[in-house]
Every structure is written in C-alpha cells, then in structure tokens.
Amino acid sequence: MSLKIIIWDVQHGSATYMRTPNGTHIVKDLGTGSFGEKDRKFSPLIHLKNKYDISQLDYVIISHPHKDHIDDILNFDKLSPRVFCRPKHLSSEDIMKDAREEDKPLFEKYLEINDRYNQPVPDSENPSLPANNGGVEIANFHPKKSSTTNLNNHSIVTIISYADSKIIIPGDNEPSSWKELLENESFIKSIRDSDIFVAPHHGRESGYCPEIFEYFKPYLTIISDDVETDTSATDRYSKLSQGWKVHHRDGSASEERKCVTTRNDGFIVIDFGTNSDGKPYISVKIA
C-alpha cells in the first residue's frame, strides 16, 4: 500500500487530500475552485464524498483562516471529521477583523467549528500518529510570534513522511514565520532532505524564503495557483529544484519537471510507497 496525496486544482486557493496505507482520510485546507471544466464551484469535500465514497474524514488541518483556505468549510460537517487542527492561538477578533461582509458566513462557521472541537484527542484515536494511520509521520509546526495583522505568518506548516519520502505542505507563510520556525531544531530535523515542496502563498515572491533551502533541495516544487495569481517566485523554485519525472494520468507521456502548477497541470497526484524489492518510490501524475 502507498500514501496517496492529491493537490487539488482550486484556482487561487489550497486544498490537499491524503489517504494513508490503512485508509485514514486526511485533508489540509479547504479551498474551492476548478476541476475538469474550470468549474469555480468545485468542492473537494463534496467530490470526496460523492466520487470517492468517503463518509467521514479522520483529520482536517486548516493552515490559517483566510478565505482561500476555508472556502469549502460550509461542507465540513457533511464528512463528519473526527479531529480538527488549526492555529488555536488566534482570537475571534484576529480572524474576523478583515472578513468581507459576503464572506462572514464562512468565518462564522470556522469559529463555530473551532469552539466545538475543543476536547483533547487520546493517543489511541489520534490519526496524526503513525500507529493509527498506517505508518505515516505527520508533523505540524505552528508559528506564533509574528503580528496577527498578517495571519499568513501564523500558517501551520505540515511535513508528511512515508517510505523514506517526504513532502512539505505550508500555508501562506512569509519569511518572518519561516525564520521563526528555523529557530526550532525539531523543525529543521523534520524538513531536512525533503523530496517535494509545496510553495507557500501560491508561489508568490512574498512567500519565498531562501534560508529554508539550506536544509533540503527538493526534487519537485508544486504551486497551487490560477491565471490571476502572482507566481513571481516560480523561476526561483525551479532553479532550486533538482527535477523529477512526472507522468500524465492518461499514460500518454512522461517528462522531467522541476516545477508543476495546478494552473497548467490540473490536480496533481503523488504516491509514496515501496516496491516489491523494498525500494522506496515516488510517483507524480499530472493532467
């Protein structure tokens, strides 16, 4: 069995689904947007329910409460998540202060869920622990020191490890939060030698932090973006990436790439696993 990771094509947003080897269902961020025919109403949660026949999520991680990361939250309860992870230190005032009137129902739902998921999770039921999820290591790091005037710098950075392979999935982290995390030896150990990097802040220059690349040189960088997103750091990430063979889902071709984007490549499917001879592999498929 493998760890399957899907980076959904959600326009200017972020949404990731993970299925662990024992069938644990994990979601990070709740962006919405295009899939297939550029349907801006595409809901990854409803897609998981209707097309993947998933009735319950085991673990939902919200990097930070900005609209493009919680846009699908009104569908949250349709999949009855067992465990909810978010930056709990943020106050309701921090979260609501910049909410536009038309978006307030999203943030009010987020706050309601935040208040509801307030009980500690025993280790025996914690889906983030390898013993409960088929051996996948999940490390979440929560920057907290930056001013709450910019919630991007309070984004949770998630590192997923399985079968000697590793992917870093941040939120919209900007340099001050990266530098804060680099003061933590556990964070440095966790990101070291990572294979795949999901670019923060949709590939914008504002999320680029060269210091983190002292600890890993990814084979591949993934950017979740759309045609209107400023992806000015894409060339920087391409130069820092080693390159990896990606396959087209229809089997038509494969090519070596250093950077793939949801804007150009659709949703991206990654598998971490071990071959029959015991050697680890990474498979990446694009449109």
Mean pLDDT for the stretch of residues 38-57: 90
How far, in whole angstroms, is CA 256 from its chain's centroid?
A: 23
Check if the beta carbon of residue 209 is closer than 8 Å to that of residue 186: no
* pLDDT at position 41: 82
The pLDDT of residue 40 is above 70: no
**Beta strand ranges found along the chain (DSSP E):** 3-7, 15-19, 25-30, 59-61, 83-85, 137-141, 157-162, 165-169, 196-198, 220-223, 244-248, 254-257, 259-261, 268-274, 280-286
pLDDT digits (tens, 9 = 90+) for 219-258: 999 999 887 766 678 899 999 999 999 999 888 889 999 9
Query: Do residues 30 and 45 make contact, with C-beta atoms less than 8 angstroms apart?
Result: yes
Q: Tell me, what's the pLDDT at 252?
A: 84
CB 54 within 8 Å of CB 25 = yes
Task: Look at residue 89 and tell me whether its pLDDT is greater than 90.
Answer: yes
pLDDT > 90: percent of the chain: 89
To the question of domain 3-121+132-286 being in CATH 2.60.120.650, the answer is: no
Contact 164, 138 (CB under 8 A): no
Give the residues across from 196 on adjacent strands.
Answer: 167, 220
Q: Rounded to 5, what percent of the chain is helix, strand, coil?
A: 30, 25, 45
Average pLDDT (99-116) is: 96
Q: Do 7 and 267 meet the contact criterion of CB atoms below 8 Å apart?
A: yes
Per-residue pLDDT, averaged over 56-68, amounts to 98
Show the tokens assigned to 71.
């846009």
- Tell me how many degrees the CA angle 192-197-202 measures, rounded to the nearest 5: 140
Query: Once rounded to an integer, what is the mean pLDDT over residues 49-54?
Result: 97
Give me the pLDDT at residue 39, please: 52
What's the pTM?
0.96
Question: DSSP string of 161-219?
Answer: EETTEEEEE--S--HHHHHHHTT-HHHHHHHTT-SEEEPGGGG-GGG--GGGGGS---S
pLDDT of 35 above 70 = no
Sheet holding 137-141, edge to edge: 137-141, 157-162, 165-169, 196-198, 220-223, 259-261
Give the C-alpha separation, 51 to 181, whole Å.
38
Domain range summary for the chain, segments of one domain joined by +: 3-121+132-286
